[in-house]
Structure 1
C-alpha cells in the first residue's frame, strides 16, 4: 500500500497496481513523495489498513480506484477537497463506515463517485446535489443509508446513472429528481422502503434505459413511462402494484428486460404484447393474473425467459410457445393449466429449465422433447440485462432463487403434481448435465429407466408418489452428486441400492410405502420368509365348509327380491299403460287357473286328491 520506494520519481504520473493482493505497510512520515500522481489504480483485493499518508500530498489526482481494498475508517472527504481536478473516485467494498461526508466546497469536476458495498449509515446529505453538481454517475448501493432521498439530487443536471439500491431509504421519490435529471439513463432504487406514486408525469425521459424499483411499496406504474422510447430494463417487482398490466408496456420497442413479479396484478394478459421484437426476459410470477395464455408474446422471437408461475392462468399450454426458438427458461408452475403438453414444444432445442409443476396436465411425457438438443448447457453471452435475471425453482426439496451467471449452468425439469401417465422416457438418461429432475405426484407406471445412471451431475431426483414398478436400478449408486433421492409411495420391488457413496446417506423415508421393497434402510430384510396370511375365523355354521357363504347368499337373495318387487311397483305406479296390462294379465291368469281346476278336478279325485 505504500509507494515509498518510488518517492524520488519526480515525473511519475500514473501508477497501476491493480489485480494484485494489496497489504498494509507504514509510510515514511518524514519523507513526502516528489511525484504528483494523476492516475492511481490499486483495485483487486487485500487489507490496505488506513489510507496511505502519501495521498495527503497529492493535489493533481484525476482518477483513483481502490475497489475491494479493505481500508476501513471514514469517507476521505479531504481527498476530494485537495484534488480539485478529480474526475473519478472508486471506493466500492472498502469497509468504510460512519456518515458520508461531503467536501466543504463545491466540486464541479467530479463526474463519477462510487461508494457501494460499504458500511455507511445515516442520511444522504441533503446538499449533495449542490456540492457535487457535475456528477454523471453516483453509486451508493448496499449501505445502511436511511431517511429520504434528497431533492437536491435534481440539481445534478448531467446525471446519467443513479444507484441507491439496497439501503433503508423511506418516503417517496422526489418529483424534482425526475424533472431535474433529464439525461438519466439508469435509476436503481430497489430494496428500500420507498412508497407512494412514481412521479414521471409530464416528463420527457427519452434517455432513460434502466429503471429498477423492486422491493419497495409503490402502488402504481405511471403511464408516462410509455414515453420512454429508450427504456431497455423495467423492474418494478416485489411492490404493491394492484392493477391490470398496462397495455402500453407491450409497445415499448426497446424493452429487453421486464419484471413485474411479486405484486397484486390481476386480470388477463394484455393482448397488445405483440409489437416489440427486443424483449428477452419476462417475469410476471406471483401475481393474480387470470384467463388463458393467449398470444401476448407470439412475435417475440428473441425471448429467452418466460416466467408466468404462481398465477391463476387457465386453459392449455399454448402451441405458439414452440415458435420461441431461443427460449431457455419456461416456468408455468402453480397455475390451473390442463391438457397435454403440445408436441410443438419439441422445437425448443435451447431449453435448459422447464417447470410445469402444480397444474392439471395429463398424457404422456413427450420423449421427443428430450431426444432433441434439449437441455444442453450453454455459456453464451447474454445481454447486459441478464445479470439481473433470477428464477425460483424447487430443487433438493427447497424452493430457491437462482440469480445471475449460475443460471448458465443450472439445468432442471419439474413436472411434479400433475396427472401425467405412461412410462418415464428412457431418453431422460441422455441429459448428462441435468441438476434436478422432479416427476413426483403423477400416475407414471413402468420401471425406473436404467439410463438414469448416466445422469452424472444430478443433485436432486424425486420420483415419489407414482405407480412405478420393478426394481431400483443398482447402477444409480454411480450418481455421486446426488443429494436428494426419493422413490417413496410406488409399487417398487426387490432390493434397495447398496449403501455406498451418496446412497449411504438416504433414510427410510426415501423408500417408504413400497410393499415389495426390502433391504437397508428399510426394516424389511431381503430373503426372509413371508409371514403367512391369517387363517379365516371358523364358525359353527356348517355351510362354511362349502365354496359359498350361505349366510351372505340368503341376505343377498332377500335384498334382490325386495328390490325387484319395489321396482315393479314403481313402474306400475308411474306408467298407466303397463299398469292396465299387468292387471289384465293377472285377471286372465286367475280365470285360466280357475277353469283349469274346474275341468281337471273330477280326474284328480279319481287318484285320491280332494
Structure 2
C-alpha cells in the first residue's frame, strides 16, 4: 500500500507481536492504541522516518525504546504510555526537535530524566505576532493525553497549539534537570509517581504557558520556589507526598489550590494546610540545637546548688529533732528501729565473717 499515509487500527482486539519492518512507503500517522499488541519495538517500524504520529498506548509492548527512534526527524507525537517498556530513556530522543507530545507514562523506565528533552508547539508565528495552526498533515484522528488529571482527546488544529510531557508512573531517579525550565511553550508536565530527588528547579518559572504541573509522589525536598507564582496560566499544581518544607506561596493562582495539592509533606505549612509553622516538628538537626539552647537557658550555678542543698538538709534535720523532742511516742519508735537496725547489721556482719572462716566442703570432694 505505497500510498497509505494514515493507518488507524486503534480500539480493537488485535493481538500478537508487532510485525518486523512494518513500514509502508509514505506512512505518516500510525494509530494502534488500545489493543493487545505484544513484543518489542526493536524491529518494528524501522525505516518509517516520515512518521509524524506514533500511538502505541495501552498495549503490552515490551523491551526498550530503540536508538533508531532518533532518526524520526518529523516525529511530533510519540504516545507509548501504558505498556511494559523498560530500560532508560534513550539519548537519541533528544534529536527529535519537532516533538510536541511525549507520553511515556505507566511503563518501567528507569534512570534520569534527559535534560535535552523537547516539547514545542507546532503552531507557527506570523508576522503580525499571531499564530497560524498549520499542521503538516490532517490530524483528524484523536490523540489521547492526560492533563489536569483527566484524559482528553485532542485532534485537528487543537493539537497544533498543545504540547506536553508525561513521564509519570515509572522508576525514574535523580534530580529534575533545570533545562526542563527552558520549555517555555509546554502546557502539561507530569513527572509524578517516580523516585526523583533534589529540589524543584526555580527555572520552572520560565514555563509561561504551563497549565498543569504534577510532581507528586516523589522524594523532592526543599521549599516551593516563590518564582512559580509568576506562572499565570497554572490551573493544576500538585506536589503532594514529597519531602518539601517551608511556607506555601499564597499569592495569585496559588491561593486557589486546595489541600490535596500539598498533603503528605511533613514540613510544609501555611494555607490551605490546617497547620502553621508553630505546629511543625523540627528536623533532627534543628531539634538538637533547640534542646541545647534550652539546656543552656536552664543552667544552674554549682555553688548556689550546694548552698541551697546544705540549707535544706540542715532544716530537715532540725525538723526531725524537734518532732522527736516534742512527741515521746515517736521518740520511742525512732530509738526502737535504730536499735533493731543495729542488731541486724551486727548479725549480718558476723554471718559474713563466719562464711569466710568456715572451710568449703567442695574443696575436699575429689
TM over 0.5: same fold? yes
- Report matched runs for 1:156-555 at 5 Å: 252-274=1-23, 276-369=24-117, 374-379=118-123, 381-383=134-136, 386-497=138-249, 499-528=250-279, 530=281
3-state secondary structure, aligned to 2:234: coil
CA shift at 1:349, angstroms? 1.2
Q: Give the whole-Å Cα distance in 2 for the aligned partners of 1:263 and 1:312.
A: 14
User: By how many angstroms is 1:528 displaced?
Assistant: 4.8
Residue of structure 2 in register with 1:221 after alignment: none
Q: Measure the CA separation in 2 of the matches of 1:378 and 1:332.
A: 20
8 Å Cα contact 2:135-2:160 kept in structure 1:
no
Q: Distance between the aligned counterparts of 2:280 and 2:148, measured in 1?
A: 37
Q: Relative to total residues, which structure has the larger helix share, 1 or 2? A: 2
Cα distance in structure 2, aligned partners of 1:340 and 1:493: 30
Q: Mind listing any 5+ residue stretches in structure 2 that lack a counterpart?
A: 125-133, 285-359
3-state SS in 1 of match to 2:193: coil
Q: Is the 8 A contact 1:277 1:301 kept in 2?
A: no
1:184 aligned residue: none
Give the superposed CA RMSD. Answer: 2.0
Shift of 1:443: 0.3
Aligned to 1:576: none
Task: Give CA-to-partner distance per residue, 1:71-98, whole Å, 9 cap, x none.
Answer: xxxxxxxxxxxxxxxxxxxxxxxxxxxx
**Alignment size in residue pairs:** 279
Q: Partner of 2:63: helix, strand, or coil?
A: strand
Distance 1:457 1:290 in 2: 37
- Are the aligned partners of 2:267 and 2:280 in contact in 1 as well (CA < 8 Å)? no
Alignment of 1:65-76 (within 5 A): none
Secondary structure at the counterpart of residue 48 of structure 2:
coil
CA deviations 1:260-279 (Å, max 9, x no partner) are: 101111111112413x3311
User: Does structure 2 retain, via aligned residues, the 8 Å contact 1:295–1:320?
Assistant: no
Cα shift at 1:282: 0.5
Q: Offset of 1:480 from its aligned partner?
A: 1.0
TM-score (norm 1): 0.44
Question: Structure 1: which 5+ runs fail to align?
Answer: 1-251, 534-604
